[in-house]
Amino acid sequence: MNVGGQVSEFTLVKCPSLELSESLLRFSLRRREFVTVAGNCECRYTGRASSHLGWGERLVLIKGDGSIQVHRPTGYEPVNWQPPQCTLHVHRNGCLLVIEAHRRRPRESLTLHFDRIIFYGSFRPVDRAEFNLYVSEEQMRDALIQDPSILEKGLELVDFERRVEPGFIDFYGRDVDGRLVIVELKRSQAGKEAILQLKRYVDAVLKLTGSNVRGVLAAPRLRSGAQGLLVELGLEFRRLSPRKCAEVLKKSGTRKINEFV
């Protein structure tokens, strides 16, 4: 267990016998640990296709969510695998240790036979961190200016960083029907704050122009639960992926991609 930086529980065994390995695996699977097994094995897969891999030394990862992957000495991708939610079984067949992974839909299974375990490691990682993937907000703005259609077909730029009462509007445009569009950009997950900020811009522009104004929140994704507030305030969300922005910036060439922090 890991509390306040203390050392986690883990198990590490050199060259365990197949019997011991079986016991270790059963225990780890029941505890939903993160298991690494290095050993000499043979792999068979049957399902959407079939495959066979003869004997050789590989590293097998088994996670607490039921995913399993077999890694050969080279290559980024596992040679055999099974995604999360699959059911794992361990048993011994004569002088071999067998690990089976089954999935229902699609129906497929992966079977590993081991005749020798080089080492066995297991632990229960404590990992509550949030993962954030993004481009910079400035880059997103540049991409949107270069090609407003990435957000919506027919969208055209009117102005950017327009000063209004509450601050600067990221992108100020006109849609295919001639309506004003105010875009608020967020480089990562957009939440309540972004929605309220956008609402302030929309209200300000509405007061100034008196015309119909659309408020669009553009971000890689919307925080779950924020949809309600968005709809309530009459605003819209448009997904804008980092990849898409990078693509546009690369094409436009006005700013070298891969130079941002």
Q: Mark the segment that binds DNA (CB under 7 A) among 101-109, 117-125, 177-185, 203-211.
A: 101-109
DSSP class of residue 222 equals B
Q: Which does 105 bind (CB under 5 to 8 A by kind): DNA, its own copies, none?
A: DNA
Q: Toward DNA, which CB reaches closer, 58 or 180?
A: 58
| 141 lies in the site for its own copies, by CB under 8 A | no
Nearer of residues 67 and 252 to its own copies, judged by Cβ: 67
User: Residue 110's binding partner, choosing from DNA, its own copies, none, with beta-carbon cut-off 5 to 8 A by kind?
Assistant: DNA
CB of 119 to DNA, least distance (A): 23
What are the C-alpha distances in Å from 135 to residues 8, 25, 141, 242?
34, 41, 10, 5
Is residue 221 near DNA by the rule CB under 7 A? Answer: yes
Residue 171 within binding range of DNA, rule CB under 7 A: no
Q: What is the dihedral of CA 220, 218, 193, 128, to 10 degrees?
A: 0
For residue 6, the tally of other CB atoms under 10 A from its CB is 9
Q: Which does 221 bind (CB under 5 to 8 A by kind): its own copies, DNA, none?
A: DNA
75 touching DNA, by CB under 7 A: yes
CA distance 42 to 255: 50
76 binds DNA (CB under 7 A): yes
As a dihedral over the C-alpha atoms of residue 130, residue 133, residue 137, residue 139, rounded to 10 degrees, the angle is 170
Provide, rounded to whole angstroms, the least separation between the CB of residue 222 and its own copies.
18
Taking alpha carbons only, the member of 67, 64, 81 closest to residue 29 is 64
Name the DSSP letter for residue 94.
Answer: T
Contact of 99 with 111, CB cutoff 8 Å: yes
3 binds its own copies (CB under 8 A): no
- Which residues of this chain interact with DNA, rule CB under 7 A? 45, 47-49, 51, 67, 75-77, 79-84, 103, 105, 108, 110, 133, 221, 224, 241-244
